[in-house]
Amino acid sequence: MAEEKKLYLRVKGVEHGPFTVEEVKTWIEGGKFKPTDYIRMEGMKHWVMAKNLVHLKEYFDAKKEEDRKGAFASWLGQVREGKPPIVLTPTGVTEEHTRIAEARKQLEEDAKRLEEREAELREQIERELTKKQEEEFERLRKERERLEEHRMELEEAEIEIKQMEKTVRRRRRIPLIIAGVVIVAVIAVSTPIVINYYKSTKELQEAINRIDIIDNEIKNLMAKLEDAETTMEREAIMEKIEELKKEREELVKEVEKKGGGEPIENIETTLGSVSITGPLSIIGPGSDDPSRSSSTVDSIIRGRMGAINSVYNRELRSNPSLEGKVVVSFTVSSDGTVTR
């Protein structure tokens, strides 16, 4: 019965085979396979060093030709009897275990080194990415500042154009001068007088106009937020919205402070009337002086104009055709207190 080719040799990293036992002997005799080369049997994954096998060790250690022939004959005989062609010596078992352990240790060291290198590269990538994100954020911030400056320029230009306009359509006009406001006041010893007040409230009106602009900007930014493709874009938009909200809150406080508090209105928008009520209790200038000059009365009246403008403009936005007369009534006592 012919011997099956079940042996593979690895010499200098190159695999050869399959071979029979006799073919392996030919490689050994030809000096092509040495004790420190490796051999494995078909079905094995682990390569065993040749000197760690029983029969090959006997063959390599034999000094005489007769001993080598005897070692080979014993190996060939066992293979023909069906025994495994590869049998480790006791020392070979220990050496192979040691070699496997060393290989495993080397593998773990290599894996650790690769992990460290991978972590180093990942950190480097994150640093570069973070740097790029910072650069992009700074670019967006500068772009926002540029847009804000341009927006302010447009607002200033719009104000200049409005100031140059001589006439506007009455149904679209936002009143800068409240005419025909009748104030009934009791001055000094509660003597009633009637004052027709014609006063421009430019500062308050500009604040109210700015609130309108901010409302429109917030509305536009909310629309852009839905179309934002990246987290950075959404964060930039949300940051701008928060800035506008804070600015709006400050303007509302300014209007309330200069206008005498939060207005409460009751307006009929179809050729109706505007009624103003609210917390109109203040301490006027010169409260220690029972007399009241025209400038003192003017300052008290001016404090009410913010509430009137705020109410009228809010209603005008919802109904541009709103028309009518605004009448405000309050009392100025001798101690400077103003009440409804």
pLDDT, tens only, 142-154: 887 888 887 887 7
Taking 3-state DSSP, the helix, strand and coil percentages for the chain, each rounded to the nearest 5, stand at 55, 15, 25
Q: Which burial class, exposed, middle or buried, applies to 10 when counting CB atoms under 10 A from its CB (0-12, 13-18, 19+)?
A: middle
Cα of first residue to Cα of last residue in the chain, in angstroms, is 126
Q: What pLDDT was estimated at residue 225?
A: 76
Structure-token match 């909310």, residue found: 222
- Cα distances (angstroms) measured from residue 95 to each of 33, 34, 88: 20, 17, 10
- What pairing do the DSSP bridges indicate for beta strands 191-200 and 14-19? unpaired
202 has pLDDT over 80: no
- Cα distances (angstroms) measured from residue 244 to each of 214, 215, 259: 6, 9, 22
Q: How confident is the model at residue 118 (pLDDT cuts 50, 70, 90)?
A: confident
Structure-token match 């010499």, residue found: 11
CB 290, CB 334: distance < 8 Å? yes
138 has pLDDT over 50: yes
Q: What number is the average pLDDT over the span 207-214? A: 84
Q: What share of the chain in percent tops pLDDT 90?
A: 3
CB 75, CB 28: distance < 8 Å? no
pTM: 0.33
Running DSSP on this structure, what letter comes out for residue 334?
T
Overall residue count recorded for the chain in this entry:
340
- 163-192 confidence digits (pLDDT tens): 655 444 444 444 433 333 333 333 333 333
194 has pLDDT over 60: no
CB 192, CB 200: distance < 8 Å? no
CB 37, CB 17: distance < 8 Å? no
Q: What pLDDT was estimated at residue 61?
A: 82
pLDDT, the chain, mean? 71
CB 24, CB 71: distance < 8 Å? no
Q: What pLDDT was estimated at residue 10?
A: 92
Distance of CA 327 to the CA centre of its chain: 52
Helix (H) or strand (E) holding 60: helix 54-61
Distance of CA 156 to the CA centre of its chain: 34
Region of poorest pLDDT, from 102-116, 129-143, 283-297: 283-297
Farthest-apart Cα atoms in the chain, separation: 147
